Amino acid sequence: MEYKIKKKEDVQINVIIPWTDAEKEFDNVIATASKNVSVKGFRKGSVPQEIAEAQVDRAKALSEAVDHLLREYYADIINKESLKVVGAPRVSVTKLAENNDVEVKIVVSVLPEIELPKKWKGEIKKINNENSGEREEISDEKVKEELKHLAASRAQHNEVDRAAKKGDHVKIDFTVKQDGVIIENGTSKDHSLVLGKGVFIPGFEEEVIGMKKDDEKTFELTFPKEYHASHLAGKKAEFDVKVNVVEERIIPEIDDVFAKSLGEQFKTLDDLKASVKDGMEKEQKKKYNEEKRTKYLDAFTEMIDVNVPHAVLHDELHRMVGEFEQQLSMSGMQFDEYLIKINKTREEIEKEWEPQAKKRVLSALILEQIANEEEINIDSKDIEEEMNKTLAMYKGVKDMEKNIDMGQLYEYTKGVMRNDKVFEMLEKL
C-alpha cells in the first residue's frame, strides 16, 4: 500500500492498493461467497468451485474486498500519522477494476494542531499579578441579606379574603392578545406570582395589586423595547386577568427557632450565620477562580488562532444545544417553546453560538497541549475513584449501568481532572 497526505482544513489521504494485495482479498471473498451459492441440480455446499465462482457477482466481491483492506489500512494510517480524527471518514474509490491497482481518496476532519507561543507563561503570570489582591470580605450585612432570602423561601402561604397587596402570593389565569388574537404562549392557568418581585413586564403586577379572589380585569400594557421576544418588543398588548387565589406570605422570624428548623446541626442563629457565611465565602472563591480561569483561556485564544473544521464545530454546537435543552427542561420549558418565545430557529441559535463553540473547542485543545508539554498526568486509580463517586449519584437509577458508556465516562473524568491540574499549575505561575 502507498499513500499521500494533503493537509488543509480537512485531511485528504490518497491511497493506492497494489493489485497483488487486492487480488488476495478478492480471492478470499470469492471463495467465501461461492460456498453459499445455490445451483439447480447440486446440493448447497456441493457445487463445483468453478461453477460456484461463476455465479458470484465479481464487481460486488471486488468492492467488498477493497472495503476489508481499507478498514485495516485506514487504521494503520491514522495511527502512523497521529491524526486526531473527528467523525466518520468520507471515502470514494476513484479506480476499481480487476488486474489494476486500486485508487482511493479518503477525506477526514481532524482536530487542529496547537502550538503554544513562547510568551504564554509571561501572559499567565501577568494575569496572576493583576488578580493577586485580597477578595472582598463577606460582611455581616451581606450575611443578613442572605438570611432574609432564605427566610423568604420558607414563607408560609395563608389564603386571605381581601385585596391583593405587594408581597402577597397570588394564582392567576391570564391571556395576552394583540389585535384581539391570543399571542403564542399567551395563555396560562393558575400561574403563581409573588407581587412586587417584578418578574412580569412593567405595570402588570401593579394592575393585579388591589384585585380580590374571582376578580377579573382587562388592561393594556406596552412590552419593553428591549424585550427578549423581538416580535413583541415595544408593542402594545391587551391582558385579561382573573385572580383565583390571594395568599398572605408569612415570613418566619430570623432567630434560634428558625435556625433549628433548618437542621439539627444548627443549635443557634449564630451557627446558621456561620454556615451561611462559610457557604458564601466558598461560592465567592469558586466564582473568583472561574473568572480567573476564563481570563486564562481568553488570553490563550487571543494568542492562538487556528481553523476549526466544520465537523468539529458542528459536534460542539450540538453538545451546547443539548446542555441548554437540559437547563431549560429543569426549569419546565422545552427547547421548541423557547425558540418560539424568542422568535428564532435552531439554525439561527447555532449560528449565533459559533464563536463560543470555536472558543470551547480551542480551550479544550489548549489545555490538553499544556498538559502534554508540562507532563501533567492523572493516575488511573484516582480517575476510577472519581468515576465511582459519579456512579454513586445514579445508584438508584434503573438500568444505569446499561445506559452509561464506561469508556466515555473514564475519558470525560480524566479530562476534567487533568484540566483542573492544568489550572492549578497556571495559578502557581
* Tens-place pLDDT, residues 326-372: 888 887 788 888 888 787 889 999 999 999 999 999 999 999 999 99
pLDDT exceeds cutoff 70 at 48: no
User: CA-to-CA distance for 5 and 15, rounded, in angstroms?
Assistant: 9
| SS3 label, residue 1 | coil
pLDDT at res. 39: 66
Summarised one tens digit per residue, pLDDT across range 142-200 is: 999 999 999 999 999 999 999 999 999 999 999 999 999 999 888 999 999 999 999 89
Q: Nearest 5°: phi and psi at 191?
A: -75, 125
pLDDT at res. 172: 97
pLDDT at res. 32: 82
User: CA-to-CA distance for 208 and 206, rounded, in angstroms?
Assistant: 5
- As a whole number, mean pLDDT of residues 25-43 equals 77
Fold of domain 156-250: Chitinase A; domain 3 (3.10.50)
pLDDT exceeds cutoff 90 at 413: yes
pLDDT exceeds cutoff 90 at 405: no
Judge contact between 323 and 316, C-beta under 8 A: no
Cα-based distances in Å from 279 to 250, 260, 273, 381: 26, 18, 10, 30
| Set of cell numbers at residue 70 | 481499507
pLDDT exceeds cutoff 70 at 398: no
Q: Which residues of 202-216 are buried (b: 16+ CB within 10 A; e: fewer)?
A: eebbebbeebebebe
| Set of cell numbers at residue 341 | 418565545
User: CA-to-CA distance for 104 and 67, rounded, in angstroms?
Assistant: 10
| SS3 label, residue 378 | coil
370, amino acid identity = I
User: CA-to-CA distance for 400 and 385, rounded, in angstroms?
Assistant: 18
DSSP label of 215 = -
pLDDT at res. 112: 85
pLDDT at res. 96: 94
pLDDT at res. 262: 95
266, amino acid identity = F
| Set of cell numbers at residue 202 | 412593567
- As a whole number, mean pLDDT of residues 219-241 equals 91
For residue 4, the cross-strand partners are 14
pLDDT at res. 397: 67
Q: pLDDT category, 84, cuts 50, 70, 90?
A: confident
| Set of cell numbers at residue 192 | 403563581
Give the torsion sign (CA, 197, 200, 201, 202): negative
CA geometry: angle 14, 18, 23, nearest 5 deg:
130
Cα-based distances in Å from 149 to 13, 206, 210, 252: 62, 22, 25, 11
Summarised one tens digit per residue, pLDDT across range 127-139 is: 999 988 777 889 9
- As a whole number, mean pLDDT of residues 203-207 equals 96
Q: pLDDT category, 399, cuts 50, 70, 90?
A: low
pLDDT at res. 93: 94
Residue 397 CB neighbour total at 10 angstroms: 11
Residue 316 CB neighbour total at 10 angstroms: 21
Does 156-250 match 268-427 in CATH topology?
no
More confident residue, 32 or 244: 244
| SS3 label, residue 224 | coil
Judge contact between 104 and 70, C-beta under 8 A: yes
pLDDT at res. 139: 94
pLDDT exceeds cutoff 70 at 30: yes
pLDDT exceeds cutoff 80 at 36: no
Give the torsion sign (CA, 225, 227, 229, 235): negative
Q: Does CATH place domain 268-427 in 2.30.30?
A: no
pLDDT above 90: percentage of residues in the chain: 65
Fold of domain 2-110: Alpha-Beta Plaits (3.30.70)
Summarised one tens digit per residue, pLDDT across range 51-70 is: 666 777 889 999 999 999 99
pLDDT at res. 408: 86
- As a whole number, mean pLDDT of residues 308-318 equals 87
| Set of cell numbers at residue 426 | 497556571
Q: pLDDT category, 45, cuts 50, 70, 90?
A: low
pLDDT at res. 46: 66
pLDDT exceeds cutoff 70 at 43: no
- As a whole number, mean pLDDT of residues 315-334 equals 88
Mean pLDDT (the chain, rounded): 89
* Sequence spans of domains, the chain: 2-110, 156-250, 268-427
Judge contact between 251 and 157, C-beta under 8 A: no
pLDDT exceeds cutoff 70 at 8: no
pLDDT at res. 1: 73
- As a whole number, mean pLDDT of residues 7-36 equals 86
